[in-house]
């Protein structure tokens, strides 16, 4: 299913996907998705959409950001005030700090600058 959010971005949802057996933990792979951060010209309107249309709940609100969650133990989506709408970043949980540093090194080796 694909929906268009009020900011114009498209969200695609996968449901009824094939379930696989859990794999063994690896120091090279993320353990799970932490959150997705979107830039928005209307933070309150975007957060209200996620609450109304998708059942998310506001976890916290600062002057510049809204933190919303679904059934997670932490916010799943961050909506940040910005002059344009779009994806800011996607964050993943890593097993430990060494895995984060190793991943950063791989990105630099691949030609992605680390700011």
pLDDT digits (tens, 9 = 90+) for 37-92: 999 999 999 999 999 998 999 999 999 999 999 887 778 899 999 999 999 999 98
Q: Are strands 32-40 and 77-81 parallel, antiparallel or unpaired?
A: parallel
For residue 99, being part of any structural domain is answered with no
How many structural domains does the chain have? 1
Domain that holds residue 71: 34-92
Cα torsion for 78, 51, 47, 115, to the nearest 10°? 10
User: Is residue 18 situated within a structural domain?
Assistant: no
d(CA 38, CA 86): 6
The distance between the two most distant Cα atoms of the chain, rounded to a whole number of Å, is 43
d(CA 41, CA 115): 24
Residue 88 inside a domain? The answer is: yes
Q: What tokens were used for 58?
A: 């506001």
Q: Is the pLDDT of residue 28 over 80?
A: no
For residues 2 and 13, the answer to whether their CB atoms sit within 8 Å is yes
CATH number at residue 57: 3.10.180.10
For the segment 27-40, the average pLDDT, to the nearest whole number, is: 86
Q: Encoding tokens for residue 115?
A: 């700011």
Whether the full predicted model's pTM is greater than 0.85, yes or no, is no
Residue 115 pLDDT class (50, 70, 90 cuts): low
67 bridge partner residues: 60, 78
- Could you give the CA distance from residue 91 to residue 40 in angstroms, rounded to a whole number? 18
Q: What is the structure's pLDDT at 20? A: 75
């Amino acid at each position: 299913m694909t929906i268009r959010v009020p900011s114009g971005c498209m969200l695609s949802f996968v449901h009824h996907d094939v379930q696989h057996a859990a794999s063994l933990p690896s120091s090279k792979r993320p353990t799970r998705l932490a959150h997705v951060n979107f830039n928005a010209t209307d933070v309150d309107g975007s957060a209200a959409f996620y609450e109304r249309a998708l059942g998310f709940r506001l976890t916290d609100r600062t002057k510049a950001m809204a933190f919303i969650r679904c059934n997670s133990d932490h916010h799943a989506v961050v909506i940040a005030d910005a002059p344009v709408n779009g994806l800011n970043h996607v964050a993943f949980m890593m097993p430990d700090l060494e895995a984060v540093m190793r991943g950063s090194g791989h990105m630099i080796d691949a030609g992605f600058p680390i700011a």
